[in-house]
Structure 1
Amino acid sequence: FSLTVDILPTPVTLFTNWKSTDRTAYNTARERTFPLGAPMTHEVIMFDRDGLVTEGTFTTVYFFRDGCWVTPKGGMYSVTKRWAVKQRLCIAGDIKAETIHTGERCWVSNA
């Protein structure tokens, strides 16, 4: 997988907080970051206007920080994310987009 942080924030709406067929925000983030038709092995990490990571365009993201896996508090609280938190595989916390760096340990799961 190739992960890239979006270049612009994505507004938080009902469609980014709840599972929906409206993928406008996700498609827009992909289109401005990757060329049309980029393979699905390329993922965009989205963030809100406060610079906090929310999710990937089609994944839930987790970063290894301070000895544990951390998933963003924001974005869709998917079944996979809820399960991982409940199983104590990770914690939900704030992740600033500007703190993500090349080569950082990251795990992605189905959104």
Structure 2
Amino acid sequence: HNQYEQQNLQFHQKQQDSLSSYWYFSTDSAFWFHPDSGIWAKRGKIFTHQSNIKRAEENWQLRQANSEAASVSDSRVKRENKVVSAEFFAIGGVMLAVLGYWIWWRRRK
């Protein structure tokens, strides 16, 4: 690839084929390209690179993973809120019981 970059390449092209693959190629000679059958040339040097929809799938999976992480985070917050609510009611119940016992004890005298 480096030796190809050192030469002044005269042609660059990027196309997408029917399988949603992206092709990038550059060369210093005449050639033919068809997205579904590939590159044909009689002579010269050529550099090609093929990538496909995989990056979009990876991005989708990353978004999905982030969404799941956010969902887990939301459920943790909800669980923590429920725990706090349960603790609040438990402490309130104990305080009411102590207050009730104190009132009963004061009236008993």
Instruction: Identify the TM-score tier after normalising by the shorter chain.
Output: under 0.3
TM-score by length of 2: 0.20
Q: Which one has more relative contact order, counting CA pairs under 8 Å at least 6 apart?
A: 1
What TM-score, normalized to structure 1? 0.20
Instruction: Name whichever structure is richer in helix by fraction.
Output: 2
- Is the radius of gyration larger for structure 1 or structure 2? 2
